[in-house]
Structure 1
Amino acid sequence: MHQRLFGTDGLRGHVNAYPLTADMALRLGLAAGTLFRDGQRRHKVIIGKDTRLSGYVFESALTAGLCAAGMDVFQVGPLPTPAIAFLTRNMRADLGVVISASHNPYDDNGIKFFDRDGFKLPDETEDRMADLVLDAGHAWEYPPSDKVGRAYKIVDAPGRYIVYLKNSFPQDLTLEGLRVVIDCANGANYKVAPLALEELGAEVVRLGTAPDGLNINRDCGSLHPEAMQARVRETRADIGLALDGDADRLIVADETGRVLDGDQIMALCADDL
């Protein structure tokens, strides 16, 4: 068995330093394609990312490896991690990939794989992938030239996820009349979250919705909720929300700007069940 390549949340590291290099991403694409193709049909892979500048590098390298291995790749662009899990199921893909380092700064990144049901791959599968990737002498078995994969961009992916979010919201509830401050950390949810809240009726005050590839999580979002808290008080909002870079973490503030801890949020949810 080779050294453990994947951690508890996929592959993480500093951009352009081992193990997070373009070459590694290419080999991961080849390994994933080798493990998941069966040669009987076209295979589909969803790739999403957050707003880090390096996301384009790893998206391109993964796409090249997967297509070379005979997998069709559907790039959905910047979307929150839960959206990639949803789209993997919704689009009946064989595999989903998220390129993100969550709450870390822009110069880190990561690669995480989902199975067809939108769940993280089992450790055993990740270990098999690592064995292929780290075997310098491995001879890849490429499909014939007419069986290589194609790459597509899915421009309506955010809209699909917004529809899913709205359908998940109780039909007898509305956000009309509520003012909501949301800090998207200049990350993956900078489009989806404000639009979903607005379509549910809320008046939305936006923070952290101008990503430039370098400012993800910088003095904003769930790690730095102070700006959100101040804006709640300044605008007399009803609630404040702060997300991290891939929108799998949430900090909530009440109408006074006071942050609620996780136990309080769970108690509020439980009381409404």
Structure 2
Amino acid sequence: MTESDHRAKLFGTDGIRGIANMEPMTVETCVRLGRSAAHVFKDGTHRHRILIGKDTRLSGYMLENALVAGICSMGVDVLLVGPLPTPGIAYVTRSLRADAGIVISASHNSYQDNGIKFFSRDGFKLGDDTEHEIEQLTFTGRIDDIRPTASEVGKATRIDDAGARYIEHVKRSFPNGMTLEGMKIVVDCAHGAAYKVGPWVFKELGAQTINIGVEPNGRNINVGVGSLHPEVAA
């Protein structure tokens, strides 16, 4: 695949996707992508922060670290929240007032695949113009000479309460005065990003849960469970 092919195909209809460790989902491209995103989202004189969350795929660690390296090399800090559903990443991006959010996930695809999706500071999908700007910066040398040093280099911080923040947010959407007490609910988390927060939401609303797909090992996401296997929860 040529450089011009990458430029044309980096962003699809739902972010960037591909086989992990093959273009465009490589460490090299993700470092450049992180640098490009950091440059685009720097707006103003405050210390900028980009939040990153992911699902449970084995390759998530590799891609996360590459994005962190690229972002920090541009003088932008990173907030790491670990596995959290995509709507949770969008919410916590707003809650922590980050300048942007990134989720590393390929939804219902098998674990060999992975993807990257960006959110604005408001938790919404980026517009086409912003995606195009990130894409162009990723495959040109326009920002190669931007090299912050010393205290201007970014740092990464792990946010331990991101899941709890999202659980409380989801619970607040449930009508006041209502409860799930007396209900038994099957919760299928597909060994994916909701494997912790999913069951807890229903438990804290009073339900008794039967949990399926809550033992991720990096390779079993969506295997025999999840949206492609509704019969498991029947």
Place the TM-score, normalised by the shorter chain, in its bin: over 0.9
Q: Secondary structure at the match of 1:60?
A: helix
In the TM superposition, what are the counterparts of 1:28-177 in structure 2 within 5 Å? 28-38=33-43, 40-135=45-140, 139-177=144-182
Q: Is the 8 A contact 1:44 1:93 kept in 2?
A: yes
Partner-residue secondary structure (3-state), 2:52? strand
What amino acid sits opposite 1:77 in the alignment? G
How big is each residue's C-alpha offset from its partner over 1:39-95, in whole Å with a ceiling of 9 and x where there is no partner?
A: 611001110000000000011010111111111101000000000000011110100
Distance change (3 Å), C-alpha of 1:68 and 1:116 = same
Mapped partners of 2:43, 2:93: distance in 1: 18
Give, as a single letter, the amino acid of the residue that structure 2 aligns with 1:197: F
Listed as ranges, the matches of 1:139-218 within 5 Å are 139-218=144-223
Q: Conserved in 2, the CA contact under 8 Å of 1:4 and 1:127?
A: no
How far residue 137 of structure 1 moved from its aligned partner, in angstroms, is 7.2
Aligned-partner Cα distance in 2 for 1:163–1:83: 11
Give how far 1:171 is off.
0.7
Deviation, 1:155, is 1.0
CA distance in 2, matches of 1:140, 1:86: 34
Kept in 2: contact 1:101–1:108 (CA 8 A): yes
Task: Choose between structure 1 and 2 for higher RCO, CA contacts under 8 A separated by at least 6 residues.
Answer: 2
Q: CA deviation at 1:136?
A: 5.4
Count how many residue pairs are aligned between Structure 1 and Structure 2: 229
Amino acid at match of 1:156: D
Amino acid at match of 1:188: A
CA shift for structure 1 position 135: 1.7
Q: Max radius of gyration: which structure?
A: 1
* 5+ long unaligned stretches in structure 2: none
**Aligned equivalents of 1:89, 1:39: Cα separation in 2:** 18
Q: Give the 3 Å change call, closer, same or farther, for CA 137–46 of structure 1 in structure 2.
A: closer
TM-score (norm 2): 0.95
Gaps of 5+ in 1: 230-273
